A = this chain, B = another copy of it.
Amino acid sequence: MLKSEAVISGHPKASTKQAIERAALSLFAERGYPAVSMREIAERVGIRQGGIYNHFGSKQALLVHLMEGHMRALLVALDASVPKGGDPRQRLAQFVRFHVLYHLTQPDDVFIAYMELRSLEPDGLTRLKELRRAYEERLRRILEAGQRLGVFAITDVPVQAMGLIAMLTGVTTWYHDGGRLTREEVADIYAEMVMRSLDVEETEKS
């Protein structure tokens, strides 16, 4: 009966699992993993508490599933948006625009992946840290390439990379749709800030 309703109301088949993911994602992002109960998630989906365990083994497994899924999707999207080779300046600008736009498009996923590391048990923590490191590594590679070619003025690549990522990710803490600026405008401003902070002096001659 419920299933019939679900089918009629729109989502075709395995919609319950996706509905649980969406509900949990939104609730975890809003109030934090420990503050959200399985009952709340079930209530938002429209099922009873026990039903979640037909799709996820535990609350922790649900969290790991969300975080890992997001990080893998993020890496795939990044590699699709930013080519492996080419002009480091261009690649950096693309990285910045990609990062800002992706984070403004999927703020909940991003927020969870960066904030709920402390809620992970050892196994999931290890896997997530590796995915995070891989993402940061993409940026470090670009910075190093630019440094080697002499087109970036960088004192310390690892510090600069962490500083840039923190700055870009922080956009999610203040941006709201419908405000003074569009997402594209914000991405452009950030790209401009980053490029200016790295450009070597224009008086270079060599």
Q: Which residues of A contact B (CB under 8 A)?
A: 30-32, 34-35, 115, 118-119, 153, 155-156, 159-160, 162-171, 173-174, 181, 186, 189-190, 192-194, 196-198, 201-203
A201 proximity list for chain B (CB < 8 A): 202
Q: Is A164 touching B162 in the complex (CB atoms < 8 A)?
A: no
Expressed in whole angstroms, the minimum distance between the Cβ of A166 and any Cβ of chain B is: 2
**How many chain copies?**
2
A interface secondary structure, majority: helix
Pairs A-B, 9 closest by C-beta atoms: A166-B170, A197-B197, A167-B167, A34-B35, A34-B34, A162-B174, A163-B167, A166-B167, A159-B189
Q: What are 16 A-B residue pairs whose CB atoms fall within 8 Å in the complex?
A: A30-B118, A35-B119, A155-B193, A156-B189, A159-B189, A162-B173, A163-B170, A166-B173, A167-B170, A169-B170, A193-B197, A194-B197, A196-B196, A196-B197, A197-B197, A202-B202
